[in-house]
Structure 1
Amino acid sequence: MIDMTLAEIAEAMSGTLVLGADGSTAETIVRGISQTDSREVGPGQIFFARRGEETDGHRFAAQAVDAGAALLVVEREVDDRVPQIVVAEATDALGALATEVVRRVRGRGNLTIVGITGSNGKTTTKNLIGAMAERVGATVASEKSFNNEVGGPLTMLRVDDDTRTLVAEMGASAKGEISRLTAMAPPHIGVVLTVGLAHAGEFGGIETTFRTKSEMVQDLPETAVAVLNRDDAYVSKMAELTSARVRWFGLHPEADVRATDIESSAEGTRFTIHADGESLPVFFRVLGEHHVTNALAAAAVGLELGLPLADVVASLEGATRAARWRMEVMGGRDHITIINDAYNASPDSMAAGLRTLAQIARPEGRTVAVLGAMSELGEYSIEEHIRIGLQAVRLRISELVVVGAEARHLHISAINEGSWDGESVFFEDQDSAFEYLERTLRPEDTVLVKSSNAAGLRLLGDRLGEAFA
Structure 2
Amino acid sequence: MRYSLAALAQALPAELLGNDVQIDGPVVTDSREAKPGSLYVARPGEQADGHDYIPAAVKAGAVALVVEKPGPWPVPALLVEDSTKALAQIAGTYIDSLRSAPNSQLQVIGITGSAGKTTTKDLLAQILASQAPTVSNLRSFNNEVGMPLTALKAEPETRFLVLEMGADAPGNLKYLTSFIAPDAAVELLVGTAHLGGFGSREVLAQTKAELVAGLRPQGVKILNYDDLAVRQMAAAHEGPTWYFSAQGAAEATVRANGIELDEIGRPSFELCYEEQNARVQLSLVGEHHVANALAAATTALALAVPYEQVVAALGLSQAISPHRMHVFAAPLEKGQWTVIDDAYNANPDSMKAALTALAHLGQSQPEATRVAVLGQMLELGPQSAELHRQVGEQALAAQVHVIITVGPEAEPLHDVVKDKTQAWHCETPADARKLLDKYAPAGALILLKGSNGSRVYEIADELLQGVNEK
**What TM-score bracket applies, with the shorter chain setting the length?**
over 0.9
Residue in structure 2 matched with residue 241 of structure 1 by the alignment = 236
Q: 2:418 aligns to what SS in structure 1?
A: helix
> What pairs with 1:320-359 in structure 2 (closer than 5 Å)?
320-321=318-319, 323-333=321-331, 334=335, 336-359=337-360
Residue in structure 2 matched with residue 175 of structure 1 by the alignment = 170
The whole-number CA distance in structure 2 between the counterparts of 1:75 and 1:332 is 48
> What pairs with 1:48-447 in structure 2 (closer than 5 Å)?
48-108=41-101, 109-251=104-246, 252-253=248-249, 254-264=251-261, 265-266=263-264, 268-321=266-319, 323-333=321-331, 334=335, 336-361=337-362, 362-415=365-418, 420=420, 422-447=421-446
Residue in structure 2 matched with residue 22 of structure 1 by the alignment = none
Deviations 1:320-372 (A, max 9, x none): 32620111122254363101111110000001110111012222312211101
RMSD: 1.7
User: Residues 81 and 222 (structure 1 numbering): CA distance in 2 closer, same or farther, change over 3 Å?
Assistant: closer
Counterpart AA for 1:269? P
Q: 1:129 aligns to what SS in structure 2?
A: helix
Counterpart AA for 1:9? L
Select which of 20, 32, 36 maps to 1:39: 32
Q: Unaligned stretches of 5+ in structure 2?
A: none
The whole-number CA distance in structure 2 between the counterparts of 1:425 and 1:81 is 55
Counterpart AA for 2:462? R
Deviations 1:393-430 (A, max 9, x none): 122122212122321111111135xxx2x422222332
The whole-number CA distance in structure 2 between the counterparts of 1:290 and 1:267 is 10
Deviations 1:106-131 (A, max 9, x none): 12232001011111111111111111
The whole-number CA distance in structure 2 between the counterparts of 1:466 and 1:440 is 21
Q: 1:166 aligns to what SS in structure 2?
A: strand
Q: Unaligned stretches of 5+ in structure 1?
A: 20-24
Deviations 1:286-324 (A, max 9, x none): 111111110000001111222222221222222232620
The whole-number CA distance in structure 2 between the counterparts of 1:159 and 1:322 is 19
Offset, 1:53? 2.4
Q: Tell me, yes or no, if the aligned pair for 1:228 and 1:249 is still in contact at 8 Å.
A: yes
Which deviates the most, 57-66 or 459-468? Answer: 459-468
Q: 1:214 aligns to what SS in structure 2?
A: helix
Q: Tell me, yes or no, if the aligned pair for 1:133 and 1:305 is still in contact at 8 Å.
A: no
Which deviates the most, 261-270 or 41-50? Answer: 261-270
TM-score normalised by length of structure 1: 0.94
Offset, 1:466? 4.2
Deviations 1:209-254 (A, max 9, x none): 0110011112334521100001112101112222121100122422
The whole-number CA distance in structure 2 between the counterparts of 1:175 and 1:8 is 32
User: Residues 275 and 14 (structure 1 numbering): CA distance in 2 closer, same or farther, change over 3 Å?
Assistant: same
Q: Tell me, yes or no, if the aligned pair for 2:330 and 2:466 is still in contact at 8 Å.
A: no
The whole-number CA distance in structure 1 between the counterparts of 2:162 and 2:183 is 11
User: Residues 119 and 81 (structure 1 numbering): CA distance in 2 closer, same or farther, change over 3 Å?
Assistant: same
Q: Tell me, yes or no, if the aligned pair for 2:384 and 2:409 is still in contact at 8 Å.
A: no
The whole-number CA distance in structure 2 between the counterparts of 1:219 and 1:433 is 43
Q: Tell me, yes or no, if the aligned pair for 2:168 and 2:197 is still in contact at 8 Å.
A: yes
User: Residues 284 and 335 (structure 1 numbering): CA distance in 2 closer, same or farther, change over 3 Å?
Assistant: farther
Percent sequence identity over aligned pairs: 39
Offset, 1:205? 1.4
Counterpart AA for 1:406? E
Q: How many residues align?
A: 458
